[in-house]
Amino acid sequence: MLPEEELSKLRFGMSEVPQPGGQKGDYEEKVTQWFLERSFFRDFTYRNPRGKKKGEELADAVVLFDDVAFLVEVKAQYGNHDAIAWATEASLKALKQVRATHDSLKTGAIKKLQNEVYGQVEFDPAKYPNMYGLIILAQQTEESFDADELIPEIKDAGFPVFVFSLKDIELITQRFDTAGDFVNFIECRTDMRRLTQFRVNDEENNLLEMAELVPAIYATRIQPITQEVLTRTVESFRLAATGELLESREWRYGLAIDDMIARAHDLDPGLPWNHEPPSDSAEVARFLGWLTRYRRIRLGKRMLDKCLLSESTGEPQYFTHYQKSRGVVSVFIATPQSREERVKLLHYLVNYAMLHYGTGMAFGVVTDAGVSGRSYDYMVSRGQLTDEAIEFLKSHESPFTDSNEQL
């Protein structure tokens, strides 16, 4: 795994790694925000959002991704207090703050949140039915404990709340370093609470236990599911949870997808087809954000192959990725064509993919041939094709062959 400083430079769009210093607790808050950014990028990480009153803080961080919201409170221990006694007191205080944040968001008391990338964003509580509280304890101790047992009030919060140490959240966001991976981790952790106990400051062992329990969880939660898909999904989780995926020599291929997310909002307004509002860029980032690291590696590697092939042949190269469970198809294209021509190709292939797979949701990205360029154009399409579009597409031979189809 790369050092954090090098990672932040490679994963384009990340902020710099925070450095220790400042007032008590400042560094711990900032580094927690950075860890969350590692999984969610700046697009979905809201740092120290404002509360209802002027000068009031809603939370240390809020993450809003698709239909999920994470409400984060960070507590840092200074002084020689007993570690468990301090953790109990700090967790109770943080729990009260997390519940207040939950109430403020759910009741609509908070209308807008400030985002580093998109500026002021309207907040609609109806869009975030799945809310989770994250309490992060920063203390210099190796002593582990069961937070649900130590602080039984957590079970009465009315929504899932988890307690992690700063060391825990660092490990979690390192291994589950995409939005799709992190959300899946939390969902699995929620389901597993009835099966076992997880201890704060012992995340390495917690993750190994989760890898053992996840087959039964997936078999119940993901229905219908074939044995082949179940086996592949379980293995993907195991590789991430154990850290084996980080050691893969192919890990860097996934950075190609990370780069697309980081540049989704970096559009040239001078180009005639870039007339969409900023929310469309967030839609692109959200769409790609659901791709797990395991899937990003595979897609990134294939995309690189297409870029090299397009450069050598002088012809457009592309492939599709169909997620039947979500009813979503993606088209990845590399071409040496002019920007205007490649955008036309993008729209044609995305529309044909919707027809070909019979789905109402599609995503497409087109980039330069070769590996030197990082210029992207995107398209997200939802809904049904018009009768005219279907007639036009059917008048052409399908551009998709077996070699182009799903990974």
d(CA 303, CA 121) in angstroms, rounded, equals 33
Which residues in the chain land under pLDDT 50?
Answer: 1-2, 268-274, 277-279, 403-407
Specify whether the CB–CB gap between 122 and 150 falls below 8 A. Answer: no
CA 386 to chain CA centroid, Å, is 32
Q: What is the pLDDT of residue 393?
A: 93
Topology classification of domain 4-179 = Trna Endonuclease; Chain: A, domain 1 (3.40.1350)
Joined together, the tokens standing for residue 2 give 């790369």
**C-alpha span between 235 and 250 (Å, rounded):** 16
Q: In what order do the strands lie in the sheet with 328-335?
A: 317-323, 328-335, 361-368, 376-382
- Confidence at residue 345, expressed as pLDDT on a 0 to 100 scale: 96
Task: Return the bridge partners of 134, or none.
Answer: 72, 162
Residue 76 is predicted with a pLDDT of 96
At 247, the amino acid letter reads E
User: Of 196, 187, 200, 195, which Cα lies nearest the Cα of 135?
Assistant: 200
* Domain locations in the chain as residue ranges: 4-179, 251-404
What mean pLDDT is reported for the chain? 89
What is the pLDDT at residue 55? 82
d(CA 169, CA 201): 10
Query: Token pair of 88, please?
Result: 């109990």
- 99-157 confidence digits (pLDDT tens): 999 999 999 999 999 988 888 999 999 999 999 999 999 998 889 999 999 999 999 99
Q: Evaluate the CA torsion angle 179, 182, 186, 187 in order and state its sign.
A: positive
